[in-house]
């Protein structure tokens, strides 16, 4: 049986795949050229396959957090958030974020330690995951102003799945700080 390849019976169309989703990525760095690293990492994310429309918040400086709380004696952090449109699966995106951390010299010697770059996947659309390798939304995002305020700057109507509007979370954290 022969087939006419010049005129296939069903012309190829767009390949099926994952619908675009909005992901929220938090950036942090407290070693080296913190601001330059964050900006370069955002550019690197923008060059990932199936990623578009990367919007980076303003960069803010914060006190280092350790397991037992803020550490004003440690090098300060520069933090930011990016809102990213992607067709990558969340687990693939997270793996690529870890690879970018590695490209920028990230070493994982101690949890809550100093770092050249930290990239956290905060949210991926409305998806939820309790997998030990992929927790969505990020389990501590709701209590971190250095994540929520930059996110709110990019999207005034942002919602953290399972926790509610980001604006409400920010207001509650500010009220708690004033007590």
The yes-or-no verdict on residue 69 having pLDDT over 60 is yes
Walk me through the domains of the chain, giving residue ranges and CATH numbers: 21-140 (3.30.70.560)
Q: Which of 63, 60, 80, 81 is nearest to 72 (CA)?
A: 63
| More confident of the two residues 62 and 66 | 62
Active site residue 18: no
Tens digit of each residue's pLDDT (9 = 90 or more) over 3-54: 444 544 544 444 556 899 999 999 999 999 999 999 999 999 999 999 989 9
Active site residue 115: yes
Q: What is the DSSP letter of 75?
A: P
Considering the chain, what is the average pLDDT of its residues? 88
Question: CA 118 to CA 127: how far, in whole Å?
Answer: 22
- Which member of 34, 44, 114, 120 is catalytic? 120
pLDDT reported for residue 13 = 44
Active site residue 3: no
User: What global pTM score does this model have?
Assistant: 0.86
- Which member of 34, 44, 114, 115 is catalytic? 115
């Amino acid at each position: 049986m022969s087939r006419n390849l010049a005129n296939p019976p069903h012309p190829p169309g767009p390949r099926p795949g994952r619908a675009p989703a909005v992901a929220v990525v938090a950036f942090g760095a407290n070693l080296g050229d913190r601001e330059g690293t964050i900006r370069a990492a955002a550019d690197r994310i923008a060059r990932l396959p199936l990623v578009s429309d990367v919007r980076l918040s303003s960069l803010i400086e914060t006190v280092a957090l350790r397991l037992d709380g803020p550490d004003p004696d440690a090098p300060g952090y520069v933090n930011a958030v990016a809102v990213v449109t992607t067709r990558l699966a969340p687990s693939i995106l997270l793996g690529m974020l870890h690879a970018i951390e590695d490209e920028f010299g990230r070493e994982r010697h101690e949890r809550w330690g100093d770092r050249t770059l930290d990239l956290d996947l905060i949210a991926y659309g409305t998806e939820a995951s309790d997998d030990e390798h992929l927790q969505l939304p990020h389990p501590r995002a709701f209590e971190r102003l250095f994540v929520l305020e930059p996110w709110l700057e990019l999207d005034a109507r942002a919602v953290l799945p399972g926790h509610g509007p980001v604006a409400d979370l920010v207001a509650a954290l500010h009220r708690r700080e004033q007590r």
